[in-house]
Structure 1
Amino acid sequence: MSKEMQELQKQWHSMMQTIHTNSNVVSFMNSRVGQYLDDHPFVALSLLVFIAVSAIPVAFFLIFVISTTIMACMGVIVVEGVVISVGGIALLCALSGLGVLSLAVSGVLSICYIALSTLINYWHTPNSLVKKEEANENSLLQSSPPVLDPSNKNTKSE
């Protein structure tokens, strides 16, 4: 077991050397925050534990935000589709109603036209026909010789 522990210790030291020689870690450790954390290991450990533990809720929150954003985009598309569909159906109903209404109004106006023209022809035609007939009778009486009635001839000769 001691050989395994020594190998593990060597791997640990090599990993720590790799971390300590990283340029980002060196620049962080030279900063004021890095020096403070190096001087106060309890605070550094508490901060490390906090970051590790808070990674799961932050990940869930980010997943929630991304999923709700995707759902909202899809929901807007679906809601817009529904609104456009309902609007199209309402427009179709309104246009159908206007078509039926225009047919009804055209029918009523046609019936009124036919009825009024018939009434006007009924009222004005007899008067004009009577005047034409009277004019025709007068012209016939003036142009033709009087017709003698045979019964009148008999009465004169007697």
Structure 2
Amino acid sequence: MQRISSRLIEQFGERWATLLNRLRDDPKIAQLMSTRIGEYLRSHPFVALTLLLFSAMAALPVGVFLTFAIVTIVMSAVGFVFFEVLLLFVGGLALLSVLGGIAFFAVLASVVINAFFITIPSLLRQKYPHLTKRGVNHEKASEGETSGSKEM
């Protein structure tokens, strides 16, 4: 069971490394990461994850709002100017409240993901110390201590 889980963890790590290398080699991403914003995001991964979650989840509401805005502009050209301004204002407030909620959720999800990112590896190191380099060194050291005490 432990061999299967360690093999799955190793395969997942290899796939993750392949994906990250493919993203790093992309010229558009390399160009973005060489800017001041890219350097800032590289040094602040929590902010980068929050920004990624926010932008991914904000795409649909922004698209719906832009569609709503285009439709209302066409209708206002027909003659309902005052009513449409009211609708755009209400739509803008709705968008503002949705984006505020998404921003809160993105920060909360980033906190949870980072908590998992910190706790899961330490739990795995405690449960499976033989899978880490430190665990192998500690086992060799403890074997040396026990063999030395048996000789005396």
TM-score (norm: length of structure 2): 0.41
Q: Which has the higher contact order (CA 8 A, sep 6+)?
A: 2
